[in-house]
Structure 1
Amino acid sequence: MNRNIYVFWGLVITTLISALDANIMQTASPTIVKQLGGMELFAWIFVVYMLASTVTVPLYGKLSDMYGRKRLLMISVGLFTIGSILCGIANSMVELVIFRGIQGLGAGGMIPLSLIIVGDLYTIEKRGRIQAVFSSIWAISSIIGPVMGSFFVEVLTWRWIFFINVPIGIATILCLVPYHEETEFKKTYIDYKGFILFGISITMLLLATNVKYPIWYIMISLISFIVFVIVERKEAHPFLPVTLFKNKGILTTNLFMLFYCLSFFGTSNFIPLYLQEGSHMSIYKSGLILLSIAAGWMFGSIPAGKWILRFGYKNLFIIGSFITAFTGLILFLFIKEMSYVTLFMILTVQGISFGLLFAIGTIAVQEFAEANIKGISTSLQMFLRNIGTSIGVMIMGLIINHAVNIVTGMQNIFLYAFSLSVVTVLLSFLIPAKTAESSKS
């Protein structure tokens, strides 16, 4: 039991450095570009990190089913820490972009492997509370991350944005050392052809969200994916096991989470912008609005484990998707007249549905999966969430850029999100109520 406490804190620290790295760069990146030059590579500081950390997620899941979670998590944290050191000593933008890629390769395993270990160690009832802790870390870091970035730039140097990860990374590895995995892992053949084709397809798709003329990237992505499907059909041990798609629970849950992230999950990126430009609100006050989603998220995720045992997966997915769709419809219809307090309250309610659905989504794909594919099943959902959010934000960016003004643009974003949320409501009725395990209990 004491060992589990060390592991728990190791996973908390892992989540902390992942969350801080995602937020701390926002305020520091302009200063970094000024000092290193290479403004044309500015976007690539973020793009290369996103590509590396997203494409490798399913591979980490697959490898963890073969070699164990602990070993892979320690390797990914080590890789992230080495990447951080290299980023801290970078002397040009080219070097920084390359080293951010190394950081991203490590980051790709940190969050999914942490969630997989939580699934191995804790009961369904406890997992909701633990995921609430992880969610609160992301919420807090979204506020203190930019502040820390400003502090390092003004008081020390931007290089400490990366160096701060080093002691945290070492502490994480030390916390994981006492952990002994009880699950037996089977070493099998790894389909690298499938991974490479899959990686090319997803890389091109993600690049399409960050370039001016995305059509060629989308075409290459589509062709690569078609070749991937053809190759995988003939593969004895495919990169993505067929059982993932034959399992109704895994298939419907992952489809649900993909469309869910395509819809309302990305809207929070634009709400502060809307308040600043549309209501002439201060940066500080417009940023605080996101605390509503963070607070709601905690209220939704903490009791998720208990609610699964009481109501089953299907009912919770239906309720959560209805809450999201209903609050989204209110935002679309009344955003122009809505006061700050009312908007805060609506977003809090929507945050509750976010917390509930993300918690039960993670638990569901772990419980629907057999032990030997739990890792790839969990990481596949994390991967699909990343893809859905990236594409959703890209579409929302296009919508707001082509609107006559920021208010109309925000209203159009909510219309788009609401339309897709109707799809998630329909998908929620297809998800099984219980897994085989929960049916027995």
Structure 2
Amino acid sequence: MKKNRYVFWGLVITTLISALDANIMQTASPTIVKQLGGMEFFAWIFVVYMLASTVTVPLYGKLSDMYGRKKLLMFSVGFFTLGSILCGMANSMITLIIFRGIQGLGAGGMIPLSMIIVGDLFTIERRGKIQAVFSGIWAISSIIGPILGSFFVEALTWRWIFFINIPIGIASVLCLLPYKEQMEFKKTHIDYKGFFLFGISITILLLSTNIKNSLWLVILGIIGLIVFVLVERKETHPFLPVSLFRNKGILMTNLYMLVYCLAFFGTSNFIPLYLQEGSQMSIYKSGLILLSIAFGWTFGSTPAGGWIIRFGYKNLFIIGSFVTTISGLALYLFITDLSYFSLFFILTIQGVAFGLIFAVGTIASQEFAESHIKGMSTSLQMFLKNIGTSIGVTAMGLIINHAVNIHIGMKNLFLYALVLSLINIVLSFAIPAKTTAVSESK
């Protein structure tokens, strides 16, 4: 148990690195561009990191089922730290972008592998509470990150937003050292051909969400995925195991989570913008509104493990879907008339649904899967969440930008989310209630 405590803190620190990196760049990036030059490459600081960290998620899951979680997580943290050191030493925008790609290659394994280890070590009841802790880290980092970024830029140098990852990365690895994995991992053939086709196709599709007039990229990406499917059908050991898609629980849960992230998860990106432009609210106050989702998320995810034992997956997905839809309907109908505290309350309710759905979805991806593909199943769901969020945020951005004003834009955004949330309600009824592992303790 004591060793598990060290592992837990190692996972917490790993999550902290990821969360800080996601938020600390917001305030520091303008200064970085000003010093290094190359404003035309500004977006690529974020795009290349997002591409590298998203596309590699399934590969980390596959490798973790073959070689174990511990070594792979230590490698990903080490690779991320190396990328951070290189970013801190960058002397041009081009080199910074390249080094951000290296950083992203390491980041792709940090959160998925942490969640997989949580699934290996802890019972279903405890996993919900642990995910609540991780959610709290992201919430705190969303506030502390931009403040730290400003501090480093003004008091020291922007390079410290990367160098700060060095001691944190070392601490994470040291905490993981005592961890002894009990599972046996079976080394099999790695379908690099399939990963290459899959990775290139997804990269092209994600690029299309960040480039104007990108229809040809969408077509090329879809063609790539079709070729991937045709090639994989003939592969003895495919990159994405067929059992992942023959398993109804995994298939329906992943489809549900993809649509869920397409629908509502990106709305929080635009609410501070709406408050700033629509209500002339300060940046500080408009940012604090997102604490509502963080608070709700904690209350929704903490008891999720116990509720799974009591009510089963299906009922919780149905309840979470209805709560999300009803709160979304309230936002659609009253967004232009809500007071700050009324909006805070509705977003808190929606945060409870987010926390419940994400905790139950992660646990389901592990419990529905056989032990030898648990890592792949967990990482595949996280990959689909990233894809859904990326595409969803892009779609919402287009809706906002094409509206007459910000008020109409927000109403159209929530209408889009409502339509998809109705699809989620239908999908929730197709998810199995329980798994054979649901009552087993670890």
Q: TM-score, normalised by structure 1?
A: 0.99
The equivalent residue for 2:272 is 272
The equivalent residue for 1:403 is 403
Moved over 6 A (4+): none
Q: Does 1:106 align with 2:102?
A: no
| Residue 121 of structure 1: how far off its partner (Å) | 0.1
| Residue 440 of structure 1: how far off its partner (Å) | 6.9
The equivalent residue for 1:284 is 284
| Residue 439 of structure 1: how far off its partner (Å) | 5.8
| Residue 180 of structure 1: how far off its partner (Å) | 0.3
The equivalent residue for 1:365 is 365
| Residue 79 of structure 1: how far off its partner (Å) | 0.2
| Residue 436 of structure 1: how far off its partner (Å) | 1.1
| Residue 437 of structure 1: how far off its partner (Å) | 1.5
Question: For 2:418 and 2:328, how far apart are their aligned partners in 1?
Answer: 6
Question: For 1:136 and 1:205, how far apart are their aligned partners in 2?
Answer: 31
The equivalent residue for 2:35 is 35
Percent identical across equivalent pairs? 78
The equivalent residue for 2:79 is 79
Question: For 1:311 and 1:246, how far apart are their aligned partners in 2?
Answer: 24
Question: For 1:233 and 1:439, how far apart are their aligned partners in 2?
Answer: 35
Alignment of 1:86-165 (within 5 A): 86-165=86-165
Question: For 1:136 and 1:74, how far apart are their aligned partners in 2?
Answer: 23
Question: For 2:130 and 2:283, how far apart are their aligned partners in 1?
Answer: 32
Q: Does the CA-based 8 Å contact 2:313-2:433 persist in structure 1?
A: yes
The equivalent residue for 1:45 is 45
Question: For 2:302 and 2:186, how far apart are their aligned partners in 1?
Answer: 33
| Residue 108 of structure 1: how far off its partner (Å) | 0.0
| Residue 389 of structure 1: how far off its partner (Å) | 0.1
The equivalent residue for 2:176 is 176
Deviations 1:182-220 (A, max 9, x none): 000000000001000000110011101100111011011
Residue identity in the other structure for 1:393: V
Alignment of 1:254-403 (within 5 A): 254-403=254-403
| Residue 129 of structure 1: how far off its partner (Å) | 0.2
Question: For 2:62 and 2:376, how far apart are their aligned partners in 1?
Answer: 5
Question: For 2:196 and 2:95, how far apart are their aligned partners in 1?
Answer: 24
Q: Does 1:199 align with 2:199?
A: yes
The equivalent residue for 1:228 is 228
Deviations 1:287-332 (A, max 9, x none): 0000000000000000000100000000000000100001001100
Q: TM-score, normalised by structure 2?
A: 0.99
The equivalent residue for 2:23 is 23
CA distance change for structure 1 residues 107 and 337 in 2, over 3 Å: closer, same or farther? same
Question: For 1:415 and 1:2, how far apart are their aligned partners in 2?
Answer: 49
Question: For 1:291 and 1:365, how far apart are their aligned partners in 2?
Answer: 27
Secondary structure in 1 aligned to 2:338?
coil
The equivalent residue for 2:186 is 186
Secondary structure in 2 aligned to 1:234?
coil
Question: For 2:413 and 2:142, how far apart are their aligned partners in 1?
Answer: 22
Q: Does the CA-based 8 Å contact 2:17-2:168 persist in structure 1?
A: yes
Question: For 1:208 and 1:142, how far apart are their aligned partners in 2?
Answer: 27
Secondary structure in 2 aligned to 1:325?
helix
| Residue 173 of structure 1: how far off its partner (Å) | 0.5
Question: For 2:259 and 2:101, how far apart are their aligned partners in 1?
Answer: 28
Secondary structure in 2 aligned to 1:178?
coil
Residue identity in the other structure for 1:202: I
Q: Does the CA-based 8 Å contact 2:253-2:431 persist in structure 1?
A: yes
Q: Does 1:62 align with 2:52?
A: no
Secondary structure in 2 aligned to 1:96?
helix
Question: For 2:224 and 2:112, how far apart are their aligned partners in 1?
Answer: 25
The equivalent residue for 1:209 is 209
Residue identity in the other structure for 2:238: P
Residue identity in the other structure for 2:40: E
Q: RMSD of the alignment, in Å?
A: 0.7
Deviations 1:372-403 (A, max 9, x none): 00000000000000000000000000000000
Residue identity in the other structure for 1:40: E
Question: For 2:107 and 2:217, how far apart are their aligned partners in 1?
Answer: 24
Alignment size in residue pairs = 441
